[in-house]
Structure 1
Amino acid sequence: MENTVVRMVDARVEQYGEGTVMERKVDGSWQPVSWKDLSKAYREVARGLACLGFKRGDRIAILSENRPEWAFADLGILAMGGIDIPFYWTLTPAQLEYILLDCTAGAIFVSNLEYLDKILKIRPGLPELKMIICFDPVPEDRLAHDVITLDDLLARGCEAMPEIWESLGRSIAEGGAHDPATIIYTSGTTGEPKGVMLTHDNFLSNVRQVLEVIKIGDTDTCLSFLPLSHVFERLAYYLFLYTGCKIVYAESIDQLIPNMGEVKPTILVSVPRVYEKAYGRILDRVRESSLIKRLIFVTSLSVGQEVSRRLQAGKELSGWLRFQQKFADRLVFFKLRQTFGGRIRLMISGGAPLSKRIAEFFHAAGLIILEGYGLTETSPVISANDLERLRFGSVGHPLPGVEVRIADDGEIQVRGPNVMKGYFNRPSDTAEAIDGDGWFSTGDLGHIDNDGYLVITGRKKSIIVTAGGKNIAPSLVENALCADKFISQAFVYGDRRKYISALIAPDWERVENYAKEHRIEFSSRRELCDNSRIRELLQGRIDSAQVDLSPVEQIKRFKIMEREFSQDKGEVTPTLKLRRKQITSRFWKDLESLYDD
């Protein structure tokens, strides 16, 4: 019975054996990991942990970028009945220390020497942490009784006594669907991070729900680059294991485009920011091309957009439009799709709202982005668009088996097998979030349209109420602004004010290139912030970006920032969500200056 993650993977090992489950580039070539290799590795991890004294229910952390060893550690921890706590590798030592103390982790896997040093710096304040296991080799002088390598752990697991082997078999057999599998800490936009406890059934039920609307199989290949510490990528990883889809780990976000050309994935799972950057680069290339090529692109895009509109409306394409589509595809869109490897059949977006304009652009080019919605607390997917029911600007229909209702104040509430077990060691917070009937309050505002599509309108705690009593969701405005290639970040402000304003962090590389092209002299970003021509440029970009917003939602004044909001300074979370309270406090004078008469 495949009711735990490990038993599900064991079934796929039996099914696919020597077939490739994942790949990673090592010394310039892609190295495969077979299903049997995966099984051997995670069982040795589980037995190795048992040899070190760890047992069912123990909490063990993982601090690593995406690589096969992440999966070895994750599945090994689950196989021995443990609970893993994944970390973003961008977390500061102070943030790591807070979470490790909160979850009382007994061990941590780290990817490399850099992350090992991060943990060693805070080690004195972590009395419960008994062991650090490094994936990469560690110099002899850095090893200790409590600092070992993964190879050492695997060797211990391989050489374990027979009773350890028998114990692992019992642990896998006795594991239950409702056992905790992981504790994922929320990003803490409004306070300290909370540990979300998710069970095996939370994940596996969500995998099955997703597969009822999005078809993925063992002929697919996915290029993995979102952090596995993010619940969105974590669910995708289990979904790919469930379906036999091959997982290929990108070298880095900077190597994403070259890696796509090499791997030729059929599925891409991403956050909107990656699609936004790709959109911006494509338009840049068009702008830099010859006049005739620009005209061909504009004409082809117009044809693609008409095709997109008709397909969304369920209308037939005329013979003439089909001919135009084939012509446009041959001249423009085929080449555009080659940027993504040429085999993409599905692009999936989550983690933040996707601009409708960008979704429609890619659809016109023959690349379908299916946008969904969810939270860490819901494992995570609540709703998703699918190929049969696609509406850009919405997050699709609720998944089968997931109930969604809208509370009187507009808050989205969810009930289903994907809803978390609760917050770790926070019973009062759990009771506040999940009522007696099992309904989880998401904190997001939205509505369900007449055709059953869920539309997100904002975050409940972030709503701005203007002096005129109008409610504005700042994220709606910020997402519209950030869809422009010259704007990297935007922070909208204006609670109880006559109008809303914004702090704008430009894409400084683009702004500086623009200044050079237009012979605007500068010696610092500060000078560019104060330059009237740069301000005029950004004003024009802002005006275009908010053309579809209502007058009350349009920013009236803005300040150009010299830098982007930073995780190191506590202004954004590891998932790049704005921490509004901290930004408001730090930039209070700048914000107030936007209301000086």
Structure 2
Amino acid sequence: MEKISRVFDLLTYHKAHFDADDILATKVNSNWIKYSIDQFIDNANYISKGLIALGIKKDDKVAIMSENRPEWNFCDFGIMQIGATQVPMYPTLAENDIKFILNDAEIKIIFVSTKEIYDKINTVKESSAIPISIYTFDKINDLAHWEEVKNLGKKNSDIDLEPYKSQITKDDLLTLIYTSGTTGTPKGVMLTHENLMSNVIYSAPMYPKEIKKALSFLPLSHIFERMVCYMYFYLGISVYYAESIDTIVANLVEVKPHCFTTVPRLLEKVYDRIVAKGHELSGIKKSLFFWALQLGHNYEVEGKNGFFYELKLKIARKLIFSKWREALGGEILCIVSGGAALQERLARVFWSADIKVLEGYGLTETSPVIAVNAPFKGQTKFGTVGKVLNNLQVKIAEDGEILVKGPSVTKAYYKRPDATAETIIDGWFHTGDIGEFKDGFLAITDRKKEVFKTAGGKYVAPQVLENKFKESVYIEQIMVVGENRKFPSALIVPNFEKLKDWAAKNGISETDPEKLVKDKAICEKIWNEVEKLNTNFGHWEQIKKIALLPQEFTIDGGELTPKLSIKRKVVLSKNKDLIEKIYASIDAQEHHVK
């Protein structure tokens, strides 16, 4: 396929090769509104000219803080076409992160979607040293609308964009994406046009040629969905945006996409919902359902289970699994899962239902794909993240850390030479993940650092949360858990001296720690402390459940190092059953284990 070195050239490439009348689509007031490639190009060009008229220059930073919608793409391309740098921001960012990003990146203009986000930015921007203009995607009385920039571009239609485009090279900065580090201070990952386009071009062959339509719901603020959407434009795949995370199932049935990207958490929800319905069945239907499910858990690719298994699978697909496919729109060819580890049993059972779930691996710093399973013969291995892309080099360091080198790897962190020198050594990017190769497929076995990802693909820095929660006089020790789980939770050892005082004042005469941690009023008291401190963090970082422990972590008990640092693996092992109990309930509002 033709190689493109600058991301904005995707529009003229798409026009020449596909000329789609629905390159983008979104649902407004119950109707799907489609945008052609011509409308996309016009909108992007008008935004470019409008930004020029507003004084935006090459390398200036312009932010977008919005959920997925076509305006996000129009502004993204409008920004990049004049050499400015796009800074994506999650709509759910906490105030302290917003403040840091606005000042660190020296944002000059920010596009936001809603009044709620506008108010959030407006509150924070007062502390910014640089004046920031805010434009909304929703039409809101008395607030500047994004179409004002577009209309300004129309008024300045005589501006020739070609000189601006011609000055932009593949090595120019395309985007600055902030990710939270171990200290909790966001780091700006600098990604160039070449970083993204190299990843697009070498990831594209993993998609079957029959794919023509995709549903998108993972945030474009994340490099995973953003790169994939660039790849959709490159492959001529139409992008339909889901209305919200709550309407995905309905939108799948309406759109009937051939593919979508997801995180394990959503697949877990789908699986749990299907199994729950199976339990509601009775008699022969129930027996058939769980027979098919058990069959699926033992699935092997390419008929490796033999003729008799394949015969049973054919029956299971007709009687049971066909309904799974219908629930996903009926035309799914593949699903790409990333952002966190996918349970192997989930991959097997979806494949058995003829729903190919392809697990991949990457980081923001690698634009993001490093490796991915593909739906072709010899290109999938369960329990791995697939084969490394052909234009990347991966090696395993002596300590097991995965190191990567290639054109999609960031050159540096913004204004952070210290972080750059620590992470990129002799041209090799140190991922912080521990892995190994299995028959040519990369497998992730552990995290080198304590920072973990939830099942939703969000990074959580446990020490930052733990330090904050220990500000409560009622919390003596705390360990945040949640690696590959739906949300973070915490194991808490209360400060029993303070707690006993509080208990006495509230009519609780009990003093035995074993009984105190089971007392409903005590659990509510500690939960209220957690709730107060939760407000300091983004919603994905917030503690959703807690369990109280009656005994302190000690050196003698093996939970603490001589420096009094928590030995996380020891605590996880000792409290394995309790942690499973925390996550056994689907209801995240049940916030303590009794």
Normalising by structure 1, what TM-score? 0.77
SS at 2:170 equivalent: coil
- CA shift in 2, pair 1:591/1:573, >3 Å: farther
State the partner residue of 2:257: 265
Please show how residues 24-423 of structure 1 align to structure 2 within 5 Å: 24-139=26-141, 142-143=142-143, 148-160=144-156, 162=158, 164=159, 166=160, 168-212=161-205, 214-217=206-209, 219-306=211-298, 308-309=299-300, 311=301, 315=304, 317-318=306-307, 320-387=308-375, 388=377, 389-423=379-413
> Which digits, 9 at most, give the CA deviation of each residue in 1:440-499, with x for residues without a partner?
0111111122x12211122112299xxxxxxxxx9xx977984xxxx86555899xxxxx
The structure-2 alpha-carbon separation of the partners of 1:5 and 1:591, relative to structure 1 and needing over 3 Å to count, comes to: farther
1:408 match: secondary structure: coil
Taking only the aligned residue pairs, the percentage that are identical comes to: 37
CA change 1:424–1:371 in 2 (3 A) is same
CA gap of 1:296–1:531, structure 2 versus 1, over 3 A, is farther
Q: Residue type matched to 1:462 in 2?
A: E
Q: Deviations over 1:317-351 (max 9, x none)?
A: 41x44432222111100011111111111011100
By how many angstroms is 1:565 displaced? 8.6
Distance in 1 (alpha carbons) for counterparts of 2:484 and 2:261: 23
Distance 2:226 2:529 in 1: 28
Taking structure 1 as reference, are residues 189 and 25 closer, same or farther at Cα in structure 2, changes over 3 Å only? farther
Q: 5+ residue gaps in structure 1?
A: 465-473, 495-526, 533-558
8 Å CA contact retained: 1:218, 1:244: no
How far apart in 2 are the matches of 1:448 and 1:334? 35
Question: Structure 1 296/446 Cα, relative in aligned 2: closer, same or farther at 3 Å?
Answer: same
CA distance 1:190–1:428, shift in 2 (3 Å): closer
SS in structure 1 of the partner of residue 449 of structure 2: helix
Are the aligned partners of 1:218 and 1:243 in contact in 2 as well (CA < 8 Å)? no
* Matched-pair contact (CA < 8 Å) for 1:63–1:110: yes
Match of 1:441 among 389, 407, 430: 430
1:463–1:184 distance in 2 versus 1, CA, 3 Å: closer
TM-aligned CA distance change 1:565 to 1:224, over 3 Å: farther
Deviations 1:422-443 (A, max 9, x none): 101111211221123x100111
**Which amino acid is 2:327 matched to?**
T
Separation (CA, whole Å) in 2 of partners of 1:364 and 1:28 = 34
Residue ranges of structure 2 left out of the alignment (5+ in a row): 453-461, 463-479, 494-514, 558-594
Instruction: Kindly indicate whether residue 452 of structure 2 is the aligned counterpart of residue 460 of structure 1.
Output: no
CA displacement at 1:84 relative to structure 2:
0.5
Q: Would you say the 8 A contact 1:21–1:247 is kept in 2?
A: yes
* Contact preservation (8 Å) 2:207, 2:374: no
User: Shift in Å at residue 138 of structure 1?
Assistant: 2.6
* SS of 2:329 mapped into structure 1: coil
Contact 2:333 2:356 in 1 (8 A): yes
Query: One-letter code of the match for 2:156?
Result: A
- Relative to 1, partners in 2 of residues 1:18 and 1:354: Cα closer, same or farther, differing over 3 Å? closer
Hey, what's the Cα distance between the residues in 2 that align with 1:395 and 1:244? 26
Aligned mates of 1:273, 1:327 — CA distance in 2: 29
Task: Quote how far apart the aligned CAs of 1:85 are.
Answer: 0.4
Counterpart contact for 1:12–1:35, Cα < 8 Å = yes
Equivalent residue number for residue 569 of structure 1: 534
Counterpart contact for 1:489–1:565, Cα < 8 Å: no
Deviations 1:548-580 (A, max 9, x none): xxxxxxxxxxx9x96999898278766x4x69x
Distance 2:174 2:218 in 1: 20
Task: Give the CA deviation at 1:218.
Answer: 7.5
Residues 1:41 and 1:269: Cα distance change in structure 2 (over 3 Å)? same
2:50, 2:149 within 8 Å by CA — same for their partners in 1?
A: yes
Partners of 1:182 and 1:370 in 2: how far apart?
27
> How far does the alpha carbon of each residue in 1:64-106 deviate from its partner, in whole angstroms, 9 at most, with x for none?
0000000011000001111000000001232211111111011
User: How far 1:364 moved relative to its partner?
Assistant: 1.8
C-alpha contact 1:187 1:573 (8 A) present in aligned 2: no
**1-structure distance, mates of 2:175, 2:147:** 24
The structural deviation recorded for 1:398 is 1.0
Distance in 2 between the 1:136 and 1:231 partners?
24
User: Offset of 1:292 from its aligned partner?
Assistant: 2.0
SS in structure 2 at match of 1:293 = helix
Residue 534 of structure 2: SS of its match in structure 1?
A: coil
Distance 1:568 1:222 in 2: 40
C-alpha distance in structure 1 between counterparts of 2:444 and 2:491, whole Å: 18
1:96-134 residue CA offsets vs partner (Å, 9 max, x unmatched): 111111110111011122211111111211132332111
Deviation at 1:275, TM superposition (A): 0.5
Which amino acid is 1:290 matched to?
A: S
Once residues 218 and 103 of structure 1 are traced to their aligned partners in structure 2, the CA distance between those partners, rounded to angstroms, is 41
Residues 591 and 530 of structure 1: is their aligned pair in 2 closer, same or farther, counting only changes over 3 Å?
closer
Alignment partners' CA distance in 1, 2:532 and 2:390: 37
Question: Contact 2:409–2:429 (CA<8 Å) still a contact in 1?
Answer: yes
Other structure's SS at 1:254 match: helix
Q: Which moved more, 1:65-74 or 1:220-229?
A: 220-229
TM-score normalised by length of structure 2: 0.78
- Cα pair distance change 1:452/1:325, threshold 3 Å: same
Contact 2:527 2:546 (C-alpha < 8 Å) held by counterparts: no
